[in-house]
Amino acid sequence: MRDIIDLKPIKTKGNIMMKYTGSFIVICSLVVWFAIAISKWASIPVVQYSHSSGECVQVVNFVEDDRYTCSKLPDRYTREWAK
């Protein structure tokens, strides 16, 4: 009886599309995550410190709404040494 009934699924375009749907969703999710990570990284302010005194000289804000200064440093920033 088993020889008479072929239980293999018929390959149609629908089955092929279902086969790659998971991969497509994963790749799209990774692309979105990567874009969000790059945008967050690009908006981190730069705090410039003096070599001689070790104190803050200037804060470079890349987002217009950020109003960080040497007296009000952000939680996360990139440290840069200045003369």
Chain segment 17-75, per-residue pLDDT in tens: 677 788 889 999 999 999 999 988 888 899 999 998 889 999 998 888 888 999 999 89
Instruction: Specify if 17 maps to a domain.
Output: yes
d(Cα 56, Cα 18) in Å, to the nearest integer? Answer: 56
Largest CA distance in the chain: 89
Look up the domain containing 78 and give its range. Answer: 13-82
- C-beta separation of 68 from 58 below 8 A: no
What's the total number of domains in the chain? 1
d(Cα 44, Cα 41) in Å, to the nearest integer? Answer: 6
- Position 81 scores a pLDDT of 92
Q: pTM for the complete prediction?
A: 0.56
Measuring CA to CA, which residue among 22, 19, 20 is closest to residue 9?
19
Instruction: Specify if 5 maps to a domain.
Output: no
